[in-house]
């Protein structure tokens, strides 16, 4: 079994991004907005700041209190839309329950939507036009490419149908000529379907959802989830020890998909900066 080393590839991508950013007339700028106190989100946001530093980007972080009215968030985003020095805007999800995520995402200018969540970018992905790609699924594709795993003609099974991961993951695999099955909480016989997968991607957020018997011999298994076990240790959806007996390729958690998501965010921000400076 070969480990899909996302940490190593992410470091390589970020170094390439840093070198390219250095050549731009103006350095790329990313604004990250966090609403409320979710501790996991806080960790993600601070790691994005570090990524910006290591890529030589300008970054701004906005910490809004949990009770901030939605109108104030929308005003902030509109202000960032108009800023010359800000190329990418990321509003950390999930937002507090009283906010309408859809309205907030639509307010982000599609040209600065480095998450690829705006309906304009999501729609362009659907119809196969150029767009900002959501960072996690794009990171998974980069990882497959790095290990010369060609999805064409393969049976790909994606577990999870979120707008952030599952749906765009399915579309990206389809674009590369995989035969894609999207599974979710209402799918009967999940184990049987997973067992057919040449490429199995799990993005649910439930520890041990994917057991060893659900993995076909020689499969590529990608674990997108970030869960914690009873000792507080990070783990994914896949029973790693059992899956490693069957899979040909497997992502570790941590050190698999997580660092790739962050690296693609830097790549998307560089792309936004280049487009906004008419360099591509
Ligand atoms: N929450 C979990 N993943 C993501 C992501 O990729 N982008 C944003 N904005 N929020 C998230």
State the pLDDT at residue 31. 98
Range of the domain at 106: 26-110
Tell the residue nearest (CA) to atom 11 of ligand 1. 93
Tally of domains in the chain:
2
Residue 8 lies in a domain: no
Q: What is the DSSP string of the chain?
A: -EE--HHHHHHHHHHHHHHHHHTSSS--EEEEEEES--HHHHHHHHHHHHHHHHHT-EEEEEEE-TT--HHHHHHHHHHHHT-TT--EEEE-SSPPTTS-HHHHHHHS-GGG-TT--SHHHHHHHHTT---PPPHHHHHHHHHHHHTT---TT-EEEEE---TTTHHHHHHHHHHTT-EEEEE-TT-TTHHHHHHT-SEEEE-S--TT-B-GGGS-TT-EEEE---EE-TTS-EE-SB-HHHHHTT-SEE--SSSSHHHHHHHHHHHHHHHHHHHHTT--
CATH number assigned to the domain comprising residue 99: 3.40.50.10860
Last residue within a domain, chosen from 60, 93, 110 = 110
Query: Do 99 and 160 share a domain, yes or no?
Result: no
- Confidence (pLDDT) at 223: 98
254 and 147 inside one domain = yes
Residue 267 lies in a domain: no
Last residue of a domain, which of 110, 145, 165? 110
pLDDT score of 143: 98
Q: Give yes or no: residues 155 and 243 share one domain.
A: yes
pLDDT of residue 133: 98
Query: For position 4, what pLDDT does the model report?
Result: 99
CA of 193 to the centre of ligand 1 (A): 28
Mutate to test the pocket of ligand 1, among 33, 39, 43, 44 (most ligand atoms within 8 A of CB): 44
Structural domain contains residue 48: yes
Q: What is the pLDDT of residue 124?
A: 98
Mean pLDDT for each consecutive 10-residue tract of the chain (280 residues)? 98 98 98 93 92 98 97 98 98 97 98 98 98 98 99 99 98 98 97 98 97 98 96 96 98 98 98 97
Cα 204 to averaged position of ligand 1 atoms, centre (Å) = 14
pLDDT value of residue 150: 99
> What is the structure's pLDDT at 59?
98
Task: Verify whether ligand 1 is closer than 6 Å to residue 164 (CB atom).
Answer: yes
> For atom 1 of ligand 1, which residue has the closest CA?
93
106 in the same domain as 139: no
The CATH code of the domain that includes 158 is: 3.40.50.720
Within-domain flag for 178: yes
Residue 59 lies in a domain: yes
Residue 93 CB less than 6 A away from ligand 1: yes
pLDDT at site 114? 98
């Amino acid at each position: 079994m070969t480990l899909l080393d996302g940490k190593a590839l992410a470091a390589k991508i970020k170094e390439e991004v840093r070198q390219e950013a250095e050549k731009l007339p103006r350095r790329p700028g990313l604004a990250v907005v966090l609403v409320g106190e979710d501790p996991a989100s806080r960790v993600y946001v601070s790691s994005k700041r570090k990524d910006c530093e290591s890529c030589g980007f300008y970054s701004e972080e906005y910490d809004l209190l949990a009770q901030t009215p939605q109108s104030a968030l929308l005003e902030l985003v509109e202000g960032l839309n108009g800023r010359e020095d800000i190329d990418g805007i990321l509003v950390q999800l999930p937002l507090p329950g009283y906010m309408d995520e859809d309205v907030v995402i639509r307010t982000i200018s599609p040209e600065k939507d480095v998450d690829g969540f705006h309906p304009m970018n999501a729609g362009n992905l659907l119809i196969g036009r150029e767009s900002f790609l959501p960072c996690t699924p794009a990171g998974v594709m980069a990882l497959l490419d790095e290990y010369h795993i060609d999805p064409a003609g393969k049976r790909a099974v994606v577990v999870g149908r979120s707008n952030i991961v599952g749906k765009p993951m399915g579309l990206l695999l389809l674009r590369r000529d995989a035969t894609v099955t999207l599974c979710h909480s209402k799918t009967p016989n999940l184990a049987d379907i997973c067992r057919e997968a040449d490429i199995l991607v799990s993005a649910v957020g439930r520890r041990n959802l994917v057991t060893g018997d659900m993995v076909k011999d020689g499969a590529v298994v990608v674990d997108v989830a970030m869960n914690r076990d009873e000792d507080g240790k990070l783990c994914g959806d896949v029973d790693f020890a059992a899956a490693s007996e069957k899979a040909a390729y497997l992502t570790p958690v941590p050190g698999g998909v997580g660092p790739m998501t962050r690296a693609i965010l830097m790549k998307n921000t560089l792309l936004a900066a280049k487009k906004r400076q008419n360099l591509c």
